[in-house]
């Protein structure tokens, strides 16, 4: 399978201490590749600051909706599309509810399906929760307490989107948490735990497809 992983900094592998990017022995995308083996190709398309539909006035190209079409064209054909977005949508500047963010995710999915040469299977991942106090002094001022609460409500709304679009669903917060260092990004252990969970989900999806044939 060709597997496209489309997400934000936690797909990119941004280090929780701000020193750059985790290597291929640590990122969940790279670990997923190793677990699946050479018969599959995992394509890493993570971008720091990426949202579903919201425009970041400080950094260009962050709207997932703007880039998903050309991204899929670049990597066509895709057998499995894994999307994990929503954390950056919780920023105070967007003032968005979990329901609104889920609608943005649905738009990304709809556009993705219009820009491929063949149908793909879909795995919707609700991101890890933001940690308590993520907006405290010394952490990330782009978030506040409301951001944390919205992030905790994403799983319920994303599950609805997954059902509507006949997709598999995984709640990342059930397997991994943000680091205590920045209360926002996965640490090495978090990447490993998430890789295991996604691998098991992908294998389950394959088994279901085989039964349907």
What is the separation, in whole angstroms, between the first and last Cα of the chain? 16
Half-sphere exposure of 169 (CA within 13 A, CB side): 17
Residue 178 has pLDDT above 80, yes or no: yes
pTM to 2 decimals? 0.97
37, with CB counted inside 10 A (0-12, 13-18, 19+), is: exposed
Our CA angle for 126, 33, 51, nearest 5°, is 30
- Residue 210: what pLDDT? 85
d(CA 156, CA 200): 21
pLDDT in tens, 38-96: 999 999 999 999 999 999 998 999 999 999 999 999 999 999 999 999 999 999 999 99
pLDDT at residue 115, as a whole number: 82
- What's the CATH class of domain 2-212? alpha beta
* Model pLDDT for residues 11-42, shown as the tens digit of each residue: 999 999 999 999 999 999 999 999 999 999 99
DSSP string, 99-118: HHHHHHHHHHHHHHHHS-SS
Q: How many CB atoms lie within 10 A of CB 132?
A: 11
């Amino acid at each position: 399978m060709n597997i496209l992983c489309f997400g934000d900094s936690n797909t990119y592998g941004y280090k929780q201490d701000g020193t750059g990017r985790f290597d291929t022995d640590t990122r969940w995308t790279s670990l997923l590749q190793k677990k699946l083996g050479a018969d599959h190709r995992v394509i890493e398309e993570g971008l720091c600051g990426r949202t579903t539909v919201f425009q970041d006035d400080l950094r260009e190209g962050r709207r997932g909706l703007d880039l998903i079409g050309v991204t899929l064209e670049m990597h066509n054909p895709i057998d499995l599309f894994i999307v994990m977005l929503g954390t950056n949508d919780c920023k105070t500047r967007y003032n968005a509810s979990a329901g609104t963010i889920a609608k943005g995710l649905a738009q990304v999915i709809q556009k993705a399906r219009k820009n491929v040469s063949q149908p793909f299977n879909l795995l919707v991942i609700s991101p890890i929760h933001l940690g308590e106090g993520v907006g405290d002094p010394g952490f990330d001022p782009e978030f506040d307490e409301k951001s944390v609460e919205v992030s905790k409500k994403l799983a319920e709304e994303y599950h609805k989107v997954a059902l509507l679009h006949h997709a598999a669903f995984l709640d990342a917060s059930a397997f991994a948490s943000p680091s205590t260092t920045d209360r926002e990004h996965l640490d090495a252990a978090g990447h490993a735990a998430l890789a295991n969970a996604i691998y098991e989900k992908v294998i389950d999806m394959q088994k279901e497809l085989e039964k349907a044939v």
